[in-house]
Amino acid sequence: MRLAVGSDERTHVTDALVEELRRRGHEVILIGPLAGTEDAWPEVGRAVGAAVASGAAEQGIVCCYTGTGVSIAANKVPGVRAALCHDAQTAAGARKWNDANVLALSLRTTTSELAKEILDAWFSTASPPEEQPVIDQVRALDARGG
């Protein structure tokens, strides 16, 4: 899977995250400081969201100190459903019930091991067909601008 991955800073957690994604066979598109630029969290969230919304990436992962800022910025891009996940159960729920397409992580609270657990849940969970009517309601919000 092609993934857009961005963070407003490069840390041992982001390095471990990128390494783990590549180990799992994903193609990783780096954004922000992970790609050597000095973008702040609003631009990182927007850029990852834009990559997902345009189809340049199938899904995205965004990181900042709390994970909140990048998730807010990514969610400003129509078609993005970014979810801030602090544990595997939340990640599974975000995929199952919300068909989330951007995973937001906190650099403050996410360890490398926890990130692996969250990734396991994120990539092993899909939104079942019975959730589609609710997902369509969210898409309609994009179409009408809120």
SS3 per-residue string spanning the chain: CEEEEEECCCCHHHHHHHHHHHHCCCEEEEEHHHHCCCCCHHHHHHHHHHHHHHCCCCEEEEEECCCHHHHHHHHCCCCCCEEECCCHHHHHHHHHHHCCCEEEEECCCCCHHHHHHHHHHHHHCCCCHHHHHHHHHHHHHHHHCC
Note if 64 is an active site residue.
yes
From 3, 64, 84, 104, active-site residue: 64
Tokens 């050597």, located at residue: 36
Residue positions annotated with a catalytic role: 64
